[in-house]
Amino acid sequence: MTTTFTVVNNNSFLSSLGGGGVFLGGERGRLLMRSRSRGKHYSMRMMDNENKMKMKTTKTTTMMENTNENEQKRKVRRERSERKRKPSVTCKATTNAFQNNHVFSAAAATGGGTTKLWSGNPNDVSLLAILRCIAFTLWTFSLAVPLFLTMCVIFPFCYFLDRTRRYALSFVNDVWAICSTSPFVKITVEGREHLPKQDEPAVYVANHASFMDIFSLFHLKRPFKFISKTSNFIIPIIGWSMFLTGHVPLKRTDRRSQMETLKICRETLQKNGSVLFFPEGTRSKDGTMAEFKKGAFSVAAKEKVPIVPITIVNAGGIMRNGKEWMLRKGEIKVIVHPRIEASENADELCQKSENVIKEALVNNS
């Protein structure tokens, strides 16, 4: 009896069972497991690479931040060292400036800006101009004392009989100004025929460059009331005489005072008096005429009175603003222009007056 053995292929058997390499014994299973393990290893490697890249980027950012901090620390150190060095630098600068000043004063013997016995240059300090100013001040105050006593006697009569114009008191002011300036400065008036009559209301406007402007305008011999800052009224003798004559005080920075001043000027014009304005508002620092303000022309437009433009030439050259302790030789010219008739347009009055005064100032400078 013969026994027959049938050899069955394991692979075919496993495949027939539907394993398809599911079992470990199958070749396909082994390949699948290998591929899966390789995939896992590959993904792990990718993750490791990504982590390494992240680590590298963080390291670079930290390194950059450290370098920035180091640079900031270096800047702070440099600034501290520069601060320590500054005193020596300033000492060097001051010594250089001191040397330059000596060089300038030595070289300025032919130019301007030095102290001289006499000089026509407004930038120079003239010893004779200082002496002339001292003599002028003493002479002016010596005249002011007896004239002020005269005004005190006249004042009650003027206050009750001629309260607006106060012509007698204005006449004393004119005499005082003419007698004060005549020995030291020549003042001439051109265009006197354009002046209004004594009792005719008008608004006088003039450029303002020097303390000598008021002395010059008193040569017009008209009883106008000018506007001046309040501090001038407390000057002994001179300020008191301004108060007695009826000139108008003004606080420049006080809006209420400005409105009150304009109100007084309108009332003066309504009573056939005249007022004088410096439309620039204050004295020019360098002699250049500043732009006119509209207050004076608004008053003239509302009261319908004429404008009388006046140009004062070379007052700043005789006594410069900021250097009132020097009085130089020369001539001051007061030019009275034809009146500008009354108009309701204040801007037009302002522009016309400014153009007329500026043109004469340029032509005579």
Going residue by residue through the chain, which has 365 residues, state the pLDDT in tens, using 9 for 90 and above.
444 434 444 444 334 434 444 344 455 555 445 555 555 555 566 665 666 665 655 555 556 656 666 666 677 677 666 655 544 433 343 344 334 333 333 333 334 467 777 666 667 788 999 999 999 999 999 999 999 999 999 999 999 999 999 999 999 999 999 999 999 999 999 999 999 998 899 999 999 989 999 999 999 999 999 998 898 899 989 999 999 999 999 887 788 888 999 999 999 999 999 999 999 988 877 778 889 999 999 999 999 999 999 999 999 989 988 888 999 989 999 999 999 999 889 999 999 999 999 999 999 87
Question: Residue 105: its pLDDT value, please?
Answer: 35
Check if the beta carbon of residue 192 is closer than 8 Å to that of residue 140.
no
Domain spans of the chain, in order of start: 144-363
Check if the beta carbon of residue 339 is closer than 8 Å to that of residue 202.
yes
Torsion 114-119-121-125 (CA) sign = positive
Count of beta carbons in the 10 Å neighbourhood of residue 318: 27
Residues 6+ apart with CB under 8 A from 212: 181, 185, 315, 318, 319, 332
Question: Residue 38: its pLDDT value, please?
Answer: 54
- In tens, the pLDDT along 239-262 reads 999 999 999 998 877 888 889 999
Distance CA 129, CA 316 (A): 14
Distance CA 242, CA 229 (A): 11
Distance CA 137, CA 184 (A): 11
Distance CA 239, CA 230 (A): 9
Residues in the chain: 365
Task: Tell me the three state secondary structure of residue 141.
Answer: helix
Kindly write down the DSSP assignment for every residue of 196-227, as one continuous string: PPTTS--EEEE---STHHHHHHGGG---EEEE
Question: Residue 164: its pLDDT value, please?
Answer: 92
Check if the beta carbon of residue 21 is closer than 8 Å to that of residue 27.
yes
Q: Torsion over CA of 190, 191, 192 and 195, rounded to 10 degrees?
A: -140
Please give the class, per CATH, of domain 144-363: alpha beta
Cα atoms in the 13 Å half-sphere on the side-chain side of 169: 29
Instruction: Report which secondary-structure segment, H or E, holds 275.
Output: strand 274-277
Check if the beta carbon of residue 212 is closer than 8 Å to that of residue 190.
no
